[in-house]
Amino acid sequence: MARVVAAVVGAMTLLGASAQERPQLSDAQAATMTMAGYLGDWQPAPLDPVRWTPTFVVAADGSGTHRTVQAAIDALPAKTAATSTTSPPSRAYVLVKPGTYREPLCIQDKAPFTLYGAGEPSEVVIVEGRYNALPKAKGESAHRCMPLLDAESYGTPGSASVMLFSDDAQLARLTIANDAMDRVRDGQGYPAGVAESGGAQAVALMTRGDRIQLEQVRLIGHQDTFYAERNVASASTGGRGPHAVPDEARVLARRSEIRGDVDFIFGGATLVIDHSLIVSRAGRRVPGHGGHVIAPSTPNALARGFLIQDSRWLAEPGVAPASISLGRAWDRGVARGEWRASPSIPNGQALLRGNLFGPHLAPWSASTSRRPFNAVGDSANRMAEYRNLTLPDAVPVAAFDAVASGDGWASMNGGTIGGAKAKPEAVRVVRTRADLDAAIALGDTPKLIALAARIDLAADASGRRLGMDDFRDPAFDFDAFVRQYDPATWGRRDPSGPLEDARKRSAKKQAAQVVVKVPSNTTIVGITPDAGFGGGSLMLDKVSQVILRNLRFSDAYDFFPAWDPNDNGHGEWNSEYDTVSLREATQVWVDHCAFDDGERPDPREPVALGQRLQRHDGLLDITRRSDFVTVSWNLFRRHDKTMLIGGSDGHRDDRGHLRVTLHHNLWEQLKERTPRVRYGQVHVANNLYVATAGGDYPYGYSIGVGIASQVLSEHNVWEASPGIGPERIVRLLKGDRLEDRGSRFNGDPVDPVRLLRAATPDKAVVGESGWTPPYRLSIDVAADVPARVRAGAGTGRLW
């Protein structure tokens, strides 16, 4: 049975954790704990490197103004000099060219400046390899910014690769790393003086200042990666003396990445992390040892410490489920068992809101002084959550993954990865239409959309379901339309004139609301049981690299279907919306989804102009030169014209395209087109067809062999109710090629080609598809298909 994804809303608790272990804020409480509240009167400006002109350029090869980052920093004006004038100091810009700069960097008391890399953040790396227990002689400086002359080791502060002790500083598009423990594996290979119990602290970045802004910055380490500190009275000792309330120390990290394993985001600053990636690392520690993510040491007199919001908390492969605590309070300078509530003793504060959590996370842990985590009482911790969402075990590595090698046509032509290259800021948890629109607005930027709700595409911003009157043009009257275009008076001409124009305007208004155009490089995965879309359509038009998984698509209802007086010779109503439509779309994977008509089936619609109104078009149509598509493990049910592959006999430019694989899908209570193929090389394998004679959707046929199509059928299974014979499973529709291997009908072998030849003796049916799959899809024998498909197809089956 699929495990339930736990969605945290308001005061609800997360799966497996009590309110005591995972305290949640109410809506009213959360309204006062926002980024604006944490940052106060500081409103950080957007960082746009395109607009910057470098003051200095760092390049190790000598092509810039300086060869080292420290040299460029030293050339910047000091804060005291900059503030001695009456005019505000201008900002300096230091551009660092791609390369690795191994140097302990000290930035102290500088005028406002921006340090930024050229290119991707991973292309500019500032790194050192010092650690807490690394010996040094008394009198030797641990770090230019913090000498610690009396110490005999570098200590945690002295290990920092970069010390940023300056106000109004900005870092962008670069990596700061500490690689001291990179060679340690499974607790083996520690340097002298280091063990699992201590000494391995190795800071990548230490900040001590106000209005410090990080944008697209990668901080890489193990224990104590990011140390966000305050100007405390005993700064020279590393912050372990008296606990005076210091000045402001606000830090904002946006669209950044922080990796570590123990207490790797810690300190006493007011730290906001927004739209970022927080990764718990594997490999260093002895297997079975856990870790902690955050360790705030907020002064007791301050209400706001850490705020982490709209971010992904994931783990490297090898980190066990529930092995890493969200964090613990750093009771700085307090011995074990000695913590008492006092203005002079810190009590870390943190709020985690709107994040996406991986399954590696466990509840909060006891503090560094072994104070048990409590949500209430005299020793209460000040750490809480609001509207976070936790993924089950398989989701980070499976549901957001690319299509597997050999998994049908989508695995060819370089494969289908969707939005797998998304940067932290392009990973969105979507709960509302507004969230969805914001994610879609990223355009072709790689994006991962974790859908945590069912979104009614026909609803307005307040959630009210819109109806015909909301979309109807004032000049459109349905009854008048029917009277106007009655074939008895109008004939068989296409509708034209004011009423048809008004219908088209009405349809256009509805389409603007209910059609979502999915851009290229997009992965959408449902992560709650109800995740999906109703009342509208996802359109994949002229796009590439799209993955849709674990979503329910339902009821793409058309209020204004078009009347075609010549369709089928007697006229038909034709609706506009497929629940999902592919047009000139390439590299698409649709997996573990469910498709249906919802609660408004077409057979219950009224009759007009002699024909029943059609409100739903296809469930999943693949047309107009779409290519390299895999449709796997989906449930299609309760529909009429289910799937077109190739939209018209006249679309001759579809030749050489429409390469589609359909495998392990369950088709039930469907009338026809499962699929109906024109032109394409289509592989239909291990599908289960349940054919029923009655109900709203009585069975017609399954596979339609259309013009110039090349269909390969392998080990498919039909389960048919009495009165339905095997001769109905395949229909010849101007095509002449079908190859079948090993399929069964009601448990017996079936030969669709022989049946086609018998039904159409005047046609020369070729029993070979004319192509061989260039991929290695694993094919089950037909006898295993019903159980496998029933157990695995549809939503809720990925984990």
Region 353-366: mean pLDDT is: 91
Q: What is the 3-state secondary structure (H, E, C) of 188-244?
A: ECCCCCCECCECCCCCCEEEECCCEEEEEEEEECCECCEEEECCCCCHHHCCCCCCC
Residue 684 is inside which H or E element, if any? Answer: strand 681-685
Decide if pLDDT at 78 tops 80. Answer: yes
Tokens read off for 615: 């409100």
Q: Which residue of the set 673, 676, 728, 731 is catalytic?
A: 673
Region 542-567: mean pLDDT is: 96
The pLDDT score that the predictor gives to residue 114 is: 98
pLDDT classification of 120: cutoffs 50, 70, 90: confident
Decide if pLDDT at 394 tops 60. Answer: no
Residue 790 is inside which H or E element, if any? Answer: helix 785-792
Q: Which residues contact 186 (CB under 8 A, 6 or more apart)?
A: 283, 284, 285, 286, 287
- How many whole angstroms separate alpha carbon 633 and alpha carbon 686? 10
Mark 644-669 as b/e (b = at least 16 C-beta within 10 Å): bbbbeeebeebeebbbbbbbbbbbbb
- How many whole angstroms separate alpha carbon 757 and alpha carbon 742? 18
Decide if pLDDT at 483 tops 50. Answer: yes
The pLDDT score that the predictor gives to residue 710 is: 98
Decide if pLDDT at 42 tops 50. Answer: yes
Nearest alpha-carbon partner for 717 in 775, 664, 777: 664
pLDDT classification of 246: cutoffs 50, 70, 90: low
Region 158-177: mean pLDDT is: 97
- Tens digit of each residue's pLDDT (9 = 90 or more) over 463-472: 899 999 999 9
Q: Are 642 and 667 in contact (CB under 8 A)?
A: yes
Decide if pLDDT at 242 tops 50. Answer: no
Region 749-766: mean pLDDT is: 94
Q: Which residues pair with 389 in a beta bridge?
A: 7, 356
Q: Which residues contact 404 (CB under 8 A, 6 or more apart)?
A: 411
The pLDDT score that the predictor gives to residue 344 is: 81
pLDDT classification of 405: cutoffs 50, 70, 90: very high
pLDDT classification of 695: cutoffs 50, 70, 90: confident
Question: What's the one-letter identity of residue 501?
Answer: D
Mark 189-218 as b/e (b = at least 16 C-beta within 10 Å): ebbeebeeeebbbbbbbbbbbbbbbbbbbb
Decide if pLDDT at 389 tops 90. Answer: no
Decide if pLDDT at 397 tops 70. Answer: no
Number of residues written out for the chain: 799
The pLDDT score that the predictor gives to residue 799 is: 66
Decide if pLDDT at 153 tops 90. Answer: yes
Catalytic annotation on 250?
A: no
**What percentage of the chain carries pLDDT values higher than 90?**
79
pLDDT classification of 543: cutoffs 50, 70, 90: very high
Q: DSSP letter string over 6-67?
A: EE--TTPPPTT--TTTS-B--HHHHTTSSHHHHHTT--PPPP-GGG---SEEE-TTS-SSBS
Nearest alpha-carbon partner for 525 in 591, 445, 459: 591
Assessment of whether the complete model's pTM goes beyond 0.75: no
Decide if pLDDT at 19 tops 70. Answer: no
Q: Which residues contact 329 (CB under 8 A, 6 or more apart)?
A: 295, 296, 297, 346, 347, 348, 367, 368, 371, 381, 382, 383
Report the range of poorest mean pLDDT among 8-12, 20-24, 317-321, 698-702: 8-12
The pLDDT score that the predictor gives to residue 498 is: 96
Q: Which residues pair with 724 in a beta bridge?
A: none
Tell how far CA 237 is from the center of its chain.
43
Decide if pLDDT at 393 tops 80. Answer: no
Mean pLDDT of the chain: 91
Residue 291 is inside which H or E element, if any? Answer: strand 291-296
The pLDDT score that the predictor gives to residue 88 is: 61
**What percentage of the chain carries pLDDT values higher than 70?**
93
Q: To which residue do tokens 């024998």 refer?
A: 781
pLDDT classification of 315: cutoffs 50, 70, 90: confident
The pLDDT score that the predictor gives to residue 235 is: 34
- How many whole angstroms separate alpha carbon 570 and alpha carbon 592? 38
310 torsion bin: left (phi>0), alpha (psi -120 to 50), beta (else): left
DSSP-based helix, strand, coil % in the chain, nearest 5: 15, 30, 55
Taking every pair of C-alpha atoms in the chain, what is the biggest distance, in angstroms?
Answer: 105
Q: What is the pairing mode between strands 324-327 and 291-296?
A: parallel
Region 101-119: mean pLDDT is: 96
The pLDDT score that the predictor gives to residue 21 is: 82
- How many whole angstroms separate alpha carbon 60 and alpha carbon 99? 7
Report the range of poorest mean pLDDT among 106-120, 289-303, 392-406, 509-523: 392-406
Region 154-166: mean pLDDT is: 97
Q: Are 230 and 209 in contact (CB under 8 A)?
A: no
Cβ neighbourhood burial of 35 (10 Å; 0-12, 13-18, 19+): middle
Q: Is the peptide bond before 675 cis (omega within 30 degrees of 0)?
A: yes
pLDDT classification of 247: cutoffs 50, 70, 90: confident
pLDDT classification of 265: cutoffs 50, 70, 90: very high
Decide if pLDDT at 649 tops 80. Answer: yes
Decide if pLDDT at 461 tops 50. Answer: yes
Report the range of poorest mean pLDDT among 216-225, 231-240, 539-548, 697-706: 231-240
The pLDDT score that the predictor gives to residue 423 is: 75
Tokens read off for 484: 């106007």
Q: Which residues contact 233 (CB under 8 A, 6 or more apart)?
A: 241, 242, 244, 246
- Tens digit of each residue's pLDDT (9 = 90 or more) over 44-58: 988 888 889 999 999
Q: DSSP letter string over 541-602?
A: ES-EEEEEES-EEE----SSPEEETTGGGT-EEE----SEEEES-EEEEEES-EEE-TT--G
- Tens digit of each residue's pLDDT (9 = 90 or more) over 564-606: 999 888 999 999 999 999 999 999 999 999 999 988 988 889 9
